[in-house]
Amino acid sequence: MDTIENTKFSGQLAQRAAGKAQLCCASSDGRTRLRRLYQDGSAKIRLPAVSAGPLEAVLINTAGGLTGGDRLGWEVDVGADASATVTTQACEKVYRAASDHAETSVKLTVGENGSVAWLPQETIVFDRAAFARTLDVELAAGAEALVLEAAVFGRLAMGERAAQGIFHDRWRVRREGTLIHAEDFRIGPGIADTLCRAAITGGAIAVATLLLVSPRAEALLDPVREIIGDQGGASVWSVKTSGKLLARLCAEDGYQLRQRLVPLVGLLKGKAGLPKLWSL
């Protein structure tokens, strides 16, 4: 049974969803295999069968979305020489918050020469939503990470627009304990007015940030820029013994954003390919 917490506001008790899930995998006999799986509340993880390549995990929020006071936590531990791809069953929806804010925390840990691809589908933000997400990544020596987060502020096809709200995304990535990437994306309370600024997105409502920490980063810069085109950009830095490629994209809506994200993720994933749910 899913965990429901009761939170009191406006003189009434409101139901609040809470969930936490942990996945641990390790390399064994040349393949990545599940070592431990923990699920609590509305946070579930499913493991589709794959014939080869990385272990694939699908995250599911059985609450059907997030609103003020909801809390979700995901932890993924990839062992040395192991490889895992993590995605979501569907786009996460963040609804209007009557009180408090929705919160999601993500922690990714990768052992020596392991790799993780964090590839959730887009977060759809509704009008007057309040949402905060933290993403912490710990990489050992030789480990690689591909991290993506995309957000769509409203659904134009449904005549919906996120005019007001609060959205905060905080990333911290470390290699062998040293901070190699940090960013805080915060927008609100006037979401639509801010997005309309020429220096932000010029009115585009769909945005994405993609980070690749890998020795392959520099070689991929030109093909990445070709896919992104003129609605975004990409840069490469040398970080310790590895490279770091950071790309940002914006688009008029979620559909147009996905049209570029699919080939972009496919390029950076290489032979491992896209998660199955991305092509359904």
Give residue 279's pLDDT: 72
Report the half-sphere exposure of 272 (CA within 13 A, side-chain side).
Answer: 18
Say what the pLDDT of residue 11 is: 45
From CA 190, how far away is CA 133, in angstroms rounded?
19
Distance, CA of 176 to CA of 142 (rounded, Å) = 10
Task: For the chain, list residues with pLDDT below 70.
Answer: 1-14, 157, 280
Dist. CA 272–CA 82, nearest whole Å: 13
**Structure confidence at residue 216 (pLDDT):** 92
Rg of the chain over Cα atoms, rounded to whole angstroms, equals: 19
Considering only CA atoms, which of 213, 247, 219, 245 is closest in space to residue 231? 247
Residues 6+ apart with CB under 8 A from 88: 58, 59, 60, 61, 120, 121, 277
- Is the Cα dihedral 149, 135, 65, 57 positive or negative? positive
Report the pLDDT value the prediction gives residue 3, as an integer from 0 to 100: 42
Q: Which of 115, 83, 149, 107 is nearest to 21 (CA)?
A: 107
| DSSP annotation of 163 | -
- d(Cα 85, Cα 89) in Å, to the nearest integer? 13
User: For residue 13, what pLDDT is reported?
Assistant: 52
Model pTM? Answer: 0.92
The residues pairing with 237 across neighbouring beta strands, listed in sequence order, are 244
pLDDT (0 to 100) of residue 17: 85
pLDDT of amino acid 158: 72
First-residue to last-residue Cα distance in the chain: 28
Q: What is the pLDDT of residue 189?
A: 95
- 205 DSSP β-pair partners: none
User: What is the pLDDT, as a whole number, of residue 146?
Assistant: 97
